[in-house]
Structure 1
Amino acid sequence: MPENTPSDLRADCSNCFGLCCVALAFSASADFAVDKDIGTPCRNLLADYRCGIHTELRPAGFSGCTVYDCFGAGQKTSQVTFGGESWRASADTAKSMFAVFPVMRQLHELLWYLTEALALPAARSVHADLRAALEETERLTRTAPEAFGAVDVAGHRESVNVLLLRTSELVRAGTPKIRNKRIRRGADLIGAKLQGADLRGANLRGAYLIGADLRGADLRLADLIGADLRDADVRGANLAESVFLTQVQLNAARGDARTTFPAALTRPSHW
């Protein structure tokens, strides 16, 4: 992902009506201190739509909030789809907005991946198709509120995924062959001992890397789309040229000042 990632793909809470704190549900767990239903404002949401315990989220039991990222779907829903009208305006507006936001978030995640793919020289042969897919995805984000329910997100995601898979293959071509047969797409690598491992060009799409030891590992050009990095130890790991890494994944992992990652992402404050 290039440094000049479009600003509308980065969360801008100042232009959002706290949608992630209202429209989504969560259950009491290690990530959230309380249960909350869809449409019920979080008890920590202030009148100005900001979080009342933003700097204390982790010690207060809301670590899940520090991991979440909307890819800019919050401000798009708030300021574009609903023209700056808050969910507090009426019950009908709230119902519609809470239905739109999760769909918008999925579309913005696809925009993130497509934007990154278009910045990869190795994928030049599919850039025209990627650009067309990006334009179609952007068109879908501008669907009228009342028509969002008809958007076939699953079908669109499937067609985009074909292009992202091809992009991954092109980018990873020529990298060293991974000899460890456990390192594969969708692999169960929970708690795996991979300290210092050479994982260049590895296909780790959808892999379960929860609590894995990746200290000092080389993950350049590794495809990490959908990989679960919760509590993965990436201290000193090289993620700088990894493919399709997101802020959510970075937030969920445990890194340090030596961890390198794509310039479009931000070092989590809790590292």
Structure 2
Amino acid sequence: MPGVELHAECSRCFGLCCAALPFTASADFAVDKPAGTACGNLLADFSCGIHERLRDEGYAGCTVFDCFGAGQHLSQHTFGGVSWRQEPRSREPMFAAFPVMRGLHELLHYLTDALDRPETAPLHADLRTRHTELTSLTEQDAASLLALDLDAERARTGDLLARASTLVRSRPGPEHRGADLMGRRLSRADLRGAHLRGALLIAADLRDADLRRADLLGADLRDTDLRGADLTGALFVTRPQIAAARGDTSTRLPGLQHPRHWESG
């Protein structure tokens, strides 16, 4: 439905994910970087100097991040296209507002997914109302964004998404909400309509598993083996989740492209 952009366009952003957010030296990042400090790879035009080599240079974490369009919205709308380099006084409020705006955009992504499902027709009026409310919040100035209770907005939206999930899954499958399934062998498992919201599936073996219509909102798919898995119609799946997993061209995804690193993995 009409509203804010939910796909990141880095060329219209002031490198907010590269400057506002912290990262710690690990398998995902080559170095430590505190919040509010620009990454050493961020160029003067806010592009990344190693964008095509991020994984080779030890920045795999950057390749699984998605702001859901929050970066360009904050840069071009909230701050009127004036960067934190042009106006240093905007640096602190811009960086602080970025996670809030990203949270709102992520919620709008989930609501859009729910609205795209014919099974949720009985909830479409409520879903549209909530979508309009959150869209209005993204139009606020930085001070209002910083005063926002994002947890409360998540809770209100989450209840509605749970009702949408029940309608889509119709005949619910296995109940694994918030379950610790780290490293679990689930190859070829029948997880159709499964409730996997918030489940820990780190390094789980889901090769050739049937995840059609499963609810994966907030599921941790880091290093999850999805080769040959079928996620057709799976609910609330995001690009960061898929990018953090392992898969191949036989993995069937719900309207998302296969990450480039899968093809070489």
TM-score by length of 2: 0.96
Determine whether 1:91 maps to 2:88. Answer: yes
Total equivalences in the alignment = 262
CA pair 53-234 structure 1, distance change in 2 beyond 3 A: same
Choose which of 240, 244, 247 in structure 2 pairs with 1:255: 247
Cα distance in 2, alignment partners of residues 198 and 121 from structure 1: 24
Please state how far the C-alpha of 1:5 moved relative to its aligned partner.
Answer: 9.1
Q: Structure 2 unaligned segments of length 5 or more: list them.
A: none
TM-score by length of 1: 0.94
Moved more, 147-156 or 38-47: 147-156
**1:208-235 residue CA offsets vs partner (Å, 9 max, x unmatched):** 0000111111100000000000000001
1:156: which partner in 2? 153
Choose which of 42, 50, 54 in structure 2 pairs with 1:53: 50
Letter paired with 1:134: H
Please state how far the C-alpha of 1:159 moved relative to its aligned partner.
Answer: 0.5
Cα distance in 2, alignment partners of residues 70 and 92 from structure 1: 23
Letter paired with 2:206: L
Please state how far the C-alpha of 1:90 moved relative to its aligned partner.
Answer: 2.6
1:243: which partner in 2? 235
1:105: which partner in 2? 102
Please state how far the C-alpha of 1:174 moved relative to its aligned partner.
Answer: 2.2
**1:84-137 residue CA offsets vs partner (Å, 9 max, x unmatched):** 111112321111110111100000000000011111111111111110000000
Please state how far the C-alpha of 1:63 moved relative to its aligned partner.
Answer: 0.6
Q: Is the 2:3–2:135 contact (alpha carbons within 8 Å) kept by the matching residues of 1?
A: no
2:126: which partner in 1? 129
Cα distance in 2, alignment partners of residues 5 and 46 from structure 1: 33
Cα distance in 2, alignment partners of residues 7 and 152 from structure 1: 20
**1:3-60 residue CA offsets vs partner (Å, 9 max, x unmatched):** x997810010111111100000111111111111111110111111111111111121
Q: Is the 2:232–2:254 contact (alpha carbons within 8 Å) kept by the matching residues of 1?
A: yes
Q: What's the secondary structure of 2:158's corresponding residue?
A: helix
Q: Root-mean-square deviation (CA), in Å?
A: 1.4
CA pair 236-6 structure 1, distance change in 2 beyond 3 A: farther
Structure 1 residue ranges, 4+ long, deviating more than 2 angstroms after superposition: 4-7
1:168: which partner in 2? 165
1:82: which partner in 2? 79
Cα distance in 2, alignment partners of residues 56 and 144 from structure 1: 36
Please state how far the C-alpha of 1:154 moved relative to its aligned partner.
Answer: 1.0
Please state how far the C-alpha of 1:152 moved relative to its aligned partner.
Answer: 1.6
Determine whether 1:28 maps to 2:19. Answer: no
CA pair 213-5 structure 1, distance change in 2 beyond 3 A: farther
**1:130-161 residue CA offsets vs partner (Å, 9 max, x unmatched):** 10000000000011122221112111111110
